[in-house]
Amino acid sequence: MSKEVLSVKNLNMHYETLSGDVHAVKDVSFSVKEGESFGLVGESGCGKTSVAMSLLQLQADNAKISSGSIQLDGVELVGMNESELRKVRWDGISIVFQGAMNAWNPVVKVGEQIREAIREHYPEKSKAENTEKIESLFKMVGLDASVIDRFPHELSGGMKQRAIIALALSCDPKVVIADEPTTALDVVIQDQILKEIKKVQELLGLSLIYISHDIAVIAEMTNRMAVMYAGRVVESGPTAEIFANPRHSYTKALLESTPSVVGDRVKLNSLDGEPPSLIDEIPGCSFAPRCPNKTTTCKPELDMKLVEVRTEHYVYICIKESYRYEKKCN
């Protein structure tokens, strides 16, 4: 059995604003094993990136983790001071940011920016050793060594994204977060970047957290996944199992709005409405106002709970509905 590398338990994070606290992450729990690919999927604003920033403790100044635990190899990250966290970032957990166009300092050569990250964690290494490391990483992600001496504006969007992947790998992290890494790239380059990430992950045995609003990409890239809505995980489990047997209405809606390249042509169903405001407390099922399967029994006063409906397959449903699954499991 693979070793658990990252464990997130009952994580709650909010943003303090003039209009009130925005509860972006609500009681989120998941784990990632050694060499595993784990996906976070949901619409924009559901809390995916807020979870990623919480893992790295890189939230905005107005963001606060109010409770919960984040452990890397059994070491608690919540409550660490900045000096301790700097040792964890890039070395323990690194990230491939969305929007490579804005991730680079435009006036510093790409190679020097990667050297800076390596020097921070391995000050004993010489410039020649660092250059050799960068050349090796560039070869791995399909970049020529000459990119080391080029400025970001001299690179195409795809080249910048490959260089970002190399930067994320520069300090040999245990866990890599890929947050919408193909944003603003054309479909051909998107496919190439996804293949590069998968190749590198398998080659190095990395634990990968892949974040996307595209559930089809999650199917291709991950072994296990969690579906997020309104800051909360509403369904989680093995990716193949969730695609074969989706239980939450939101998961079903995401799948029904995704085109397929196999089988008969079917009409896609759009999901009406917008996610709710996360400032006010949402009683009962937060998806109920948009749910195409809503019934008269969907009442705000009904408490919700996370239930194991099949082995390692969990769904966030109301107490009334949970009895049906618990009875089957017993």
DSSP 180: S
How many CB atoms are located within 10 Å of the residue 107 CB?
Answer: 8
- DSSP for 99-151 reads -GGGTS-TTS-HHHHHHHHHHHH-TTS-HHHHHHHHHHHHHHTT--GGGGGS-
pTM score of the predicted model: 0.91
pLDDT given at position 327: 45
For residues 236 and 227, the answer to whether their CB atoms sit within 8 Å is: yes
Amino acid letter for position 303? D
Structure tokens given for 86:
């700097």
pLDDT by residue for the chain (330 residues), tens only, comes to 578 999 999 999 999 999 999 999 999 999 999 999 999 999 988 999 999 999 999 989 999 999 999 999 999 999 999 999 988 998 899 999 877 678 899 999 999 999 999 998 899 999 999 999 999 999 999 999 999 999 999 999 899 999 999 999 999 999 999 999 988 788 888 899 899 999 999 999 999 999 999 999 999 999 999 999 999 999 999 999 999 999 999 999 999 888 765 666 667 778 888 889 899 888 888 898 898 888 777 777 778 888 999 999 999 988 666 555 554 444
The whole-angstrom separation of Cα 3 and Cα 6 is 9
- 195: helix, strand or coil: helix
pLDDT given at position 322: 59
pLDDT given at position 304: 87
pLDDT given at position 102: 80
* Strands of 313-318's sheet in order across: 93-96, 175-179, 207-212, 37-41, 224-229, 232-238, 313-318, 304-310
pLDDT given at position 257: 85
Beta strand 93-96 with 175-179 is parallel
* Nearest CA among 251, 247, 210, 188 for reference residue 98: 210
Give the CB-side neighbour count of residue 218, counting CA atoms within 13 A: 29
Instruction: Say if residue 11 is exposed, middle or buried (CB neighbours under 10 Å; 0-12, 13-18, 19+).
Output: buried
The whole-angstrom separation of Cα 88 and Cα 3 is 19
- 309: helix, strand or coil: strand
Look up the CATH architecture of domain 4-222.
3-Layer(aba) Sandwich (3.40)
The whole-angstrom separation of Cα 61 and Cα 83 is 17
Contacts of residue 240, defined as CB under 8 A and 6 or more positions apart, other chains included, come to: none
Domain ranges across the chain? 4-222, 251-330
